[in-house]
Chain A
């Protein structure tokens, strides 16, 4: 059983063109691999919704709210002590820790959210079995057409990829 077809390109522009053409040809779950972020590539493969900012925002809110609550609860309810007649709920002194943990919560949410939405960590992937794919983190650009795509047809898709002038096209085993 084939997992799909992998085409290798020498430049980012070629991959960008090929990814755009693949969308025109009706593919919708193709994947494009580049050794650095290429502007417009995510849009070319049909990436729409980026939820990282939302998750980051929620993480920050959660961190800040939880910290302020902890400070208020401990200083007002659980352990009220009079320090030089200052009010128990002396909110200006609660700001520094609240600010810090807001940042911390947002940062952790951004990183963990990004990794989870990307399906990482993932230690095994069919593409890792392709020796050519090692160059995806060095100097080559890859377009992958998954066999699960409704318009995928082993012979026709291969011929279609060949006309994009790739360095090579390979079949990826599962």
Chain B
């Protein structure tokens, strides 16, 4: 008994963490990915490929600024095209990270621990890319800062009754709060990297950089107490924020009277869709991450299966949104709303609508099967299908309403151009590129929280 109390704990298998890990081994395992593991050919290849995509993204953006938004397929009546669809899609993906970090923390879900860090990074990158698109979409992007309220020489102020102005506040607040949340979570881990890097003189540079970023964190008991309070409060603040961001994004549509936009179901429907696509992206990233970095003991099948269950739930929420849209259109008796709804089924974008239903409603039902939830590569495939399906949903919301509005003489069809595709695909490359950098330069799993989980699992088993 005496000796037992003096021995550091070793984890027991609790589903979300495998057995046999101690404080030292989890710390070393996760920090070595950053500190000592050489970059493999797989990482380098992926890095170079996505970096080429990043260059394409910036090149295409320069071309856009030179020529104007005419290089895209947008025109009257469909003045909102891929750029806005991409914006809504990316910001939706950016929701799962904060949801996992904040809501699951408040609900004391243990399976949050090893996936929150990279999900938050995903959130930051996705929300950052999302923020670029509305600016690219502006006819005169160099005036985007007019959304900021400041006492300017023109003596004008932003129009506070416009949801586009609310959107600016929502997105920038979301980005900043997500960044704070992520950084606060990182501080103890940066201190671990600082102290581990010190062993080799070659790593002096890393020690200095991580040391500066760790702000002198020492892990004192009083510091931890304030830290935990601040972290919990941030989670409490981020929870309504997550819900508000996509709500406000949906106001961009719902406040307008365009048929198909003007609906009270939009805010909850957008938030559900955001969680749906966000969790799909979490799976898309988690599966390769655990595979290539050998993190199967930390990101277990339980994590993936839990995320899959969230996908089933949110898939039904999204399905409810589709049903409510149809119901509202008919219940309103408004001929434009009804026509818009019929047009989605039979019009020029009907194939997109059908594919969206398959990806977002039909395919996720496979996840009811336990065997499929535990089949990792099938899960990966399903998550990609959902990402695709959610992009089609965003496209339909933006485009199908605009292309058939009140006056038949004003109808038109949106055709994406080459540059529409370039901006969409290269933004995905930018996202993957940022994520690749993240996994090599910062701990992809929260080390301090894993140590606490080791202790918890050892106590639970005894």
Contacts and interface: CB of A to CB of B under 8 A. Distances in A.
Interface in A68-117: 70-71, 74-75, 78-79, 81, 83, 86, 90, 93-94, 96-97, 99-101, 103-104, 106-108, 110-111, 113-115, 117
Contact of B149 (A31, A74, A135, A165): A74
Nearest to B244: A99
Contacts of B219: 33-36, 136-137
Interface in B1-46: 5-9, 22-24, 27-28
B169 A44 contact: no
A110 B237 contact: yes
A97 to B, nearest CB: 4
Contacts, number: 210
A139 B222 contact: no
B215 interface: yes
B118 to A, nearest CB: 19
Nearest to A99: B244
A165 B27 contact: no
Nearest to A79: B157
Contacts of A62: none
A11 interface: yes
Given A44-B221, A97-B160, A104 B23 contact: no
B27 to A, nearest CB: 5
Nearest to B2: A165
Contact of A104 (B166, B177, B212): B177
Q: Classify chain B's interface size.
A: 35 or more
Given A42-B222, A107-B176, A139 B237 contact: no
A10 interface: yes
A138 B188 CA distance: 10
Contact of B233 (A75, A79, A106): A106
A120 B188 CA distance: 12
Interface string B174-192: 0011001101100010011
B452 interface: yes
A113 B230 contact: yes
Given A74-B149, A138-B195, A103 B230 contact: no
Nearest to B450: A36
A122 interface: yes
A127 interface: yes
Central interface residue in B170, B238, B451, by most chain A CB within 10 Å: B451
B435 to A, nearest CB: 24
A56 to B, nearest CB: 5
A12 B223 CA distance: 16
Given A34-B224, A37-B452, A111-B234, A103 B241 contact: yes
Query: Chain A interface secondary structure, helix, strand, loop or mixed?
Result: helix
Interface in B111-156: 149, 155-156
B198 A134 contact: yes
A106 B238 CA distance: 10
A61 interface: no
How many interface residues does chain A have, given as a range? 35 or more
A35 B156 contact: no
B448 interface: yes
Nearest to A75: B160
Contacts of A114: 184, 226-227, 229-230
Interface string A45-80: 101001011001000100000000011001100110
B233 A53 contact: yes
A103 B222 contact: no
Interface in B186-205: 188, 191-192, 194-196, 198
Contacts of A56: 230, 233, 237
A79 B448 contact: no
A66 B197 CA distance: 44
A123 interface: yes
A49 to B, nearest CB: 10
B5 A103 contact: no
A169 to B, nearest CB: 16
A12 B219 CA distance: 13
Contacts of A86: 161
Nearest to A31: B220
B62 interface: no
A100 B244 contact: yes
Given A36-B452, A38-B224, A117-B226, A104 B8 contact: no
Given A35-B219, A52-B226, A74-B160, A139 B27 contact: yes
Given A42-B222, A96-B251, A120-B215, 4 more contacts: A37-B225, A70-B149, A103-B177, A139-B451
Interface of A: 10-14, 19, 31-38, 41-42, 44-45, 47, 50, 52-53, 56, 60, 70-71, 74-75, 78-79, 81, 83, 86, 90, 93-94, 96-97, 99-101, 103-104, 106-108, 110-111, 113-115, 117-118, 120-125, 127-128, 133-139, 165
25 contacts: A11-B7, A31-B220, A32-B221, A35-B448, A36-B188, A37-B448, A42-B225, A44-B221, A53-B233, A78-B155, A93-B160, A94-B160, A97-B165, A103-B244, A106-B233, A110-B233, A113-B230, A114-B230, A118-B227, A120-B215, A122-B216, A124-B216, A137-B188, A139-B23, A139-B451
Please provide the 9 A-B residue pairs with the shortest distance between their CB atoms, ordered closest to farther.
A139-B23, A42-B225, A121-B215, A114-B230, A122-B216, A96-B166, A74-B157, A139-B24, A134-B195
